[in-house]
Structure formats: C-alpha cells, structure tokens
C-alpha cells in the first residue's frame, strides 16, 4: 500500500494533493490549510484522511490526532503543535510510546524529515507550500505485510 502524506499547505495549490488522490491508495493531510482542501474529505471519503493543525481554527468535528491501522501497522497522525515539535521530538515520542504506534506522521515545522527513535518511525513531510525556502515536499509511506518505509518527495 502506498500513502502520500502532506502537511502545511497554507493556501498554496491543491493540485499535488489532487494528483496524489489519483496515484496513491491513501492521502493523508496533517493540517494547516485544511479549509482549502476539506472538500477532498467528502469527494474521497475512503482514501483522504486528515487532522487539524494550529492554523485550521477550532472545528470540533476534526480531531488534532488520530490513530489508524494499516495492514497491522499502527500509525499516529498529528500536526505536532500540541506536542511542541518545534522544540524537539521527545514529547511526541512519549505520546507515541503511550499509544504503542509504529509510525508517527507529523508536520508543523515545515522541515521534511524521516527518522527512527526507539524503534518508532517519525515522518514529517515538510510543507506542501512553496513559500518556505526549501521548496514544496510530501512524504511517501509504503506499508506491506507489517513492514514499512518512508521517503521525502519534492513537488515540482
């Protein structure tokens, strides 16, 4: 299974997400820019999954954190602002251990990153916006039979 992971769109073009919905089994959005793309939740209810970020307002119908199971792999989705990821991953690591997840998908910092800590894979897709100096990126997550890997993809 192939999963595209986006975060921090902040009003930029939704085209990469729309394209990913045609190419991937699932598309995950980790917040900040949700208002512009929330229509995907209704157009693709079986494959578009999202959480709310700190710039998405306080819509109680959209959670800030979700735990999902993909083929026996527990995956946590969070924007990361509540776990204060701009100050490091230790708080997020504590939550991940408490939730017994294999993978944590988070955003908020606008810095793409794939790292493993204490056997948990942490993936930040960076920003889907082109306005943050590093260029737009997303993450590709592959899960099959309980095994998983992730990488960062530049958006042209």
pLDDT tens digits, 3-48: 999 999 998 999 999 999 999 999 999 999 998 999 999 999 999 9
Structural domains present in the chain: 2-154 (3.60.21.10)
Q: In DSSP terms, which residues pair with 105 in a beta bridge?
A: 77, 123
DSSP state of 86: G
Residue labelled with tokens 């970020």: 53
Sheet with 65-70, strands from edge to edge, namely 65-70, 73-78, 103-105, 120-124, 113-117
pLDDT tens digits, 86-101: 999 999 999 999 999 9
DSSP of 5-24: EE---TT--SHHHHHHHHHS
How many residues appear in the chain?
156
pTM over 0.85: yes
- Smallest CA-to-CA distance from 141 within 118, 154, 125 is with 125
> Could you give the CA distance from residue 10 to residue 56 in angstroms, rounded to a whole number?
9
């Amino acid at each position: 299974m192939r999963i595209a992971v986006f975060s921090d769109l902040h009003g930029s073009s939704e085209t990469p997400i729309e394209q990913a919905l045609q190419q991937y089994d699932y598309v995950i959005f980790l917040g900040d820019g949700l208002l512009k793309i929330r229509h995907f939740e209704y157009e693709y209810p079986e494959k578009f999954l999202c959480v709310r970020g700190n710039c998405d307002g306080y819509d109680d119908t959209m959670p800030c954190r979700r735990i999902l199971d993909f083929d026996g792999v527990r995956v946590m989705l969070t924007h990361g602002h509540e776990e204060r990821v701009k100050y490091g991953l230790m708080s997020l690591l504590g939550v991940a251990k408490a939730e017994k997840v294999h993978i944590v998908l988070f955003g908020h910092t606008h810095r793409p990153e794939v790292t493993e800590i204490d056997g948990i894979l942490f993936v930040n897709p960076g920003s889907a916006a082109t306005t943050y100096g590093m260029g737009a990126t997303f993450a590709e997550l592959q899960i099959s039979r309980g095994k998983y890997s992730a990488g960062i993809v530049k958006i042209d």
